[in-house]
Structure 1
Amino acid sequence: MIDISQLPEWAKIEIKKEDLLAFAEKLREEGIPGQTPPSKTEEDVFFDFLEMCDFLGIAQSTGYQRVSRGEIPHFKKGRRLYFRKSELLAWVESGRRKTTEDLNEIAEQYLRATKTGF
């Protein structure tokens, strides 16, 4: 095997197309030597429309309605829709309703802060 870094500056190398494609495929599979591949975070995960409907457990017609009304956060590139998993989770969590226990705690905090009691 030839160490390319040892070649003089004036040297030229001829590479066949299939060798270059094989090298690119190896880099894609194994990554760059000496570098740790970036880990996929939840933010990096994108769904297409059908995956989004499945993830949220809604019918496709409901999905189309909510997307067209701008209720579900999404990206549009050309005719395709993309949905980031973390944004879908945040959207679902934003609709959380307070429980009776939560409301009672808020009321108690308010009463303590205003120093009025019954």
Structure 2
Amino acid sequence: MEQTEISFENLPKAVAFLSDQIAEIKQIVKSQHSAPEPEKRIPIDIEAASRIIGKAKPTIYTLVRERKIPCYKNGKKLYFFEDELMAWISSGKRKTILEIEEDAEKSYRRKHL
């Protein structure tokens, strides 16, 4: 249906054609953007955790004992998840001088304006 002008008489045909085209487009989009399978989280042991965060095993045991690092315990064995370790590392970010100055300026504005 390659017409540029649509008359009242051929309107039902045009609507049917457009409806078919939309259905085809939906099918193409659905096939190309199917939802990815959720990533399975596989636990890692203390040796792998040690390599990821760059700390010795005794240091990790101390962090676990002080409950400063996210971990799971099953029996006598410790398990970790890489994404949780990365989040733990990120949570310890130290602010730059510029960030500290911006925070101080925002705080000052709130109190004095």
Indicate the TM-score class for this superposition, using the shorter chain for normalisation: 0.5 to 0.7
| Shift in Å, 1:37 | 8.3
Q: Which residue among 47, 50, 53 is the counterpart of 1:53?
A: 50
The 5 Å alignment of 1:69-84 reads 69-84=66-81
The 5 Å alignment of 1:3-42 reads 38-40=37-39
Q: Secondary structure at the match of 1:76?
A: strand
| Shift in Å, 1:39 | 4.0
Q: Percent identity?
A: 34
Q: Report the TM-score, using the length of structure 2 for normalisation.
A: 0.60
The 5 Å alignment of 1:79-94 reads 79-94=76-91
Aligned partner of 1:10 in structure 2 is none
Aligned residues: 79
Q: Secondary structure at the match of 1:65?
A: helix
Q: Report the TM-score, using the length of structure 1 for normalisation.
A: 0.58
- Deviation digits for residues 30-79 of structure 1, max 9, x if unmatched? xxxxxx983425xx132111100111111111112211222111111112
- Deviation digits for residues 51-109 of structure 1, max 9, x if unmatched? 00111111111112211222111111112111011211121111111111011001111
Partner Cα distance (1:76, 1:109) in 2: 43
Q: Secondary structure at the match of 2:92?
A: coil
Which one has a larger percent helix, Structure 1 or Structure 2?
2
| Structure 2: 5+ residue stretches without partners | 1-34
Partner Cα distance (1:61, 1:114) in 2: 46
Q: Which residue among 102, 109, 112 is the counterpart of 1:105?
A: 102
Partner Cα distance (1:59, 1:107) in 2: 37
Partner Cα distance (1:62, 1:37) in 2: 37
